Amino acid sequence: MKKLFPLAAFVSFASAAFNAFAESAGYEGMAKPYQLNFQPPVTPVMEKLYDLHSVLLIVITLITVLVFIVMAYICLRFNRKANPVASKTTHNTKLEIIWTTIPILILVAIAIPSLRLHYFMQRPVDTTLTVKVVGYQWYWHYDYPDNGGFGFDSYILKGADLKPTDHRQLSVDNRLVVPVDTKVRVQITGADVIHSWAVPAFGVKKDAVPGRLNETWFEATKIGTFYGQCSQLCGVGHGFMPVVVEVVSKDDFNAWVNKKKQDGGIAGEPAAKAPPSTKEKSDASPAKSPKMDKAAAKNAKLSTSAGTKETAKKTKAPIEKTDDDAADSDDTKSEKSTPSEKESE
């Protein structure tokens, strides 16, 4: 749809030119100098937002031009000099009906695709990975409940910590890492005040409200690093809690998850909690919980035993596992509840 509009086409071309620069050092989803319009979309949601925006830009331009032309015509044709004897006409029913109805029709026409898109971006269905985002004054915390529940804080990089490839006010020490072409459910909450987790290239901006769990989703279609910022005024450090999402290949993601689990002492996570590669219904979580208890027991057993070979085997490919694998690993474990169960919650 955006191809219809020359300005949008020009902007796409301009941003493509900027991106060509960025490609050399890995794709970076961020605002570029002299950029017009949005960042290039990398999720289905942002693509749809971009298209809707492009159509609305045409609509609003036509309306503005029409109003301008009518106003100019009135000023020239009916000023005191050109039209000394003014008409005494006051009401015109037909005209009033027309100028009331047409705007209503335009608004309704806009509302239909707008609400449809809103519904699309609002509901995380068939997601294969869940991450939890918690906003703090003034940093983000990320959890991976599907993968043993490890988590970490993400702080802005300042001054001497910045490397030449980093971006001042945007780079962080620990990035949220997600696999490419995977539907990710993002659960967002706040720990102190209201923050807002936003990544413009993903079309994601969701408030992190204390006492409330908000949900959104994204499916990044491009490998790269994507930047965003806290978008709800949250205090003096509001400008210093950027969001950085690193989209990597699925293999890289699995390797990263395994490393994180080993670092966190939760190696040997069974497959029960791994998001299956097949499509999963959004209401599957209650049914999962008995498995998760078992998984925690198994997990504790493994981490106390010194069987490194077995540990290595069990940590393999967390996002590619299916329910069959889960069933296999279930029958060897004890039912005993352990302290690590608490950790996984």
CB of residue 193 to Cu ion, shortest distance in Å: 7
CB of residue 136 to Cu ion, shortest distance in Å: 8
220 touches 41 (CB < 8 A):
no
Distance CA 42, CA 53 (A): 16
Of 195 and 273, nearer to Cu ion (C-beta) is 195
Nearest alpha carbon to residue 149 among 256, 257, 306: 257
As beta bridge partners, residue 214 has 188
175 touches 246 (CB < 8 A):
yes
Of 182 and 231, nearer to Cu ion (C-beta) is 231
Of 197 and 253, nearer to Cu ion (C-beta) is 197
CB of residue 241 to Cu ion, shortest distance in Å: 5
Site string for Cu ion, 224-243 (x = CB under 5 A): ------x---x---------
CB of residue 119 to Cu ion, shortest distance in Å: 27
Of 27 and 227, nearer to Cu ion (C-beta) is 227
Count the residues of the shown chain that bind Cu ion, applying the rule CB under 5 A. 3
Look up tokens 């209401």; give the residue.
283
Of 18 and 240, nearer to Cu ion (C-beta) is 240
Whole-angstrom CA distances from 37 to 72, 148, 221, 223 are 29, 40, 20, 22
296 touches 238 (CB < 8 A):
no
Evaluated on CA atoms 155, 156, 157, 163, the torsion sign reads positive
CB of residue 153 to Cu ion, shortest distance in Å: 14
Helix-helix angle 285-304:323-330, to 10 degrees: 50
User: At 145, is the secondary structure helix, strand, or coil?
Assistant: helix
CB of residue 240 to Cu ion, shortest distance in Å: 9
Examine residue 133 and tell whether it contacts Cu ion (CB under 5 A). no
Of 14 and 193, nearer to Cu ion (C-beta) is 193
Please, is 57 exposed, middle or buried when counting C-beta atoms within 10 Å of its C-beta (0-12, 13-18, 19+)? middle
183, 185, 195, 294: residue in contact with Cu ion (rule CB under 5 A): 195
**Binding residues for Cu ion (CB under 5 A):** 195, 230, 234
